[in-house]
Amino acid sequence: MIRTEQLSKYFTTRKGQQPIRAVQDLTLEVREGEVFGFLGPNGAGKTTTVRMLTSLIGPTAGRAFIGRWEVGKDDQNIRRTVGILTESPGMYERLSAERNLSIFANLYDVPDVPGQVEKYLRMLGLWNRRFDEVGSFSKGMRQKLAIARALLHEPQALFLDEPTSGLDPEAAKLVRDFIEELKSLGRTIFLCTHNLDEADRLCDRIGIFKSRLITVDTPENLRTKLYGRKVVFHLAEVNSAWLVALRALPFVQDIQSVDNRLVVSLPDPEGQNPLIIRRLVELGAEIQFVGELRHSLEDIYLQTIQGEGV
């Protein structure tokens, strides 16, 4: 659905100065129906990438495709194909919610303007406030209205730039729930966010980006790649002989004792946990609880970014 090949964007500042390399050689593919998280620090070039992929600005080098349309060659078709939620909602504050959406529905050549406007106002719970000026709306309501605006023309790909930025927890949850709803409807979503928990919950795959793509994979695979898989066995007490016995098992990659817990690195916990439990019981251990040690996406992100010397 979204494909880039060595996509780059440089900004020239003053004569004689080196251009700012906002995006360098970005090559990635986002599949149809996928929610792709695009993570990176401030100034990493995420918004520039979104702007290129929505034909708002042109690339300096490389190519990008939305479906069969190429950025820079089929810009009008790309604008019809994609929807964008910009970092700031940018609504017409003096106009009503309904007017705001009608204007954009007309600009997107939506065939049934009143029908589409009603559909999305109802879907986002704004129907009863449709005649109110947007200036009187809360931040969360504006954000929802901006999402509705991005969806009016039923785009094949939706670009969301920091959709929950600056929202209170309740409003952020409303927006997140709606993104989940869109995900369940099979929309292709390109999500730029700083909220790592949000990305972890919503995204099928994640790309960590700082001017260039550092890594891309599913959140689970990123965890495994960076930390492996670790299982924690909570025991009534730990005997040092048990550590030696478990270390002797061929599939155990690493084992550590922390208080009354054994942290065991395993390549396939689903298959190997029963063997460990059996061995511990044979050794006379009292197992109280077993769980997987799960690193947060924040750990992965920080580890990756720091590994890049950012």
Q: Which residues bind another protein (CB under 8 A)?
A: 11, 48, 51, 54-58, 76, 79-80, 82, 84, 86, 88-95, 99, 103-104, 106-109, 146, 149-150
SS3 44: coil
User: How far apart, in whole angstroms, are the C-alpha atoms of residue 214 and residue 208?
Assistant: 6
Please report how close the Cβ of residue 92 comes to another protein at its closest, in angstroms. Answer: 6
Order of strands across the sheet that contains 188-192 = 82-85, 157-161, 188-192, 35-39, 205-210, 212-217
Q: Which one-letter DSSP state was computed for residue 19? A: P
Nearer to another protein, 57 or 245 (CB): 57
Please report how close the Cβ of residue 220 comes to another protein at its closest, in angstroms. Answer: 33
Nearer to another protein, 51 or 176 (CB): 51
Please report how close the Cβ of residue 82 comes to another protein at its closest, in angstroms. Answer: 8
Q: Which one-letter DSSP state was computed for residue 194? A: S
Nearer to another protein, 138 or 296 (CB): 138
Please report how close the Cβ of residue 53 comes to another protein at its closest, in angstroms. Answer: 11
Nearer to another protein, 58 or 274 (CB): 58
Nearer to another protein, 153 or 229 (CB): 153
Give Cα separations from 135 to 69, 88, 129, 164, 174 (angstroms).
Answer: 37, 14, 12, 19, 20
Please report how close the Cβ of residue 78 comes to another protein at its closest, in angstroms. Answer: 9
User: How far apart, in whole angstroms, are the C-alpha atoms of residue 144 and residue 150?
Assistant: 10
Nearer to another protein, 60 or 257 (CB): 60
Q: Which one-letter DSSP state was computed for residue 11? A: E
Which spans in 17-112 are helix H?
46-53, 75-81, 97-107
3-state SS, 94-143, equals CCEHHHHHHHHHHHCCCCCHHHHHHHHHHHCCCHHHCCCEHHHCCHHHHH
Tokens of 62: 């490389």
Please report how close the Cβ of residue 264 comes to another protein at its closest, in angstroms. Answer: 51
Please report how close the Cβ of residue 56 comes to another protein at its closest, in angstroms. Answer: 6
Please report how close the Cβ of residue 42 comes to another protein at its closest, in angstroms. Answer: 16
Could you report how far apart the first and last alpha carbons of the chain are, in Å? 30
User: How far apart, in whole angstroms, are the C-alpha atoms of residue 192 and residue 214?
Assistant: 15
Nearer to another protein, 51 or 183 (CB): 51
Tokens of 39: 């993570």
Nearer to another protein, 80 or 173 (CB): 80
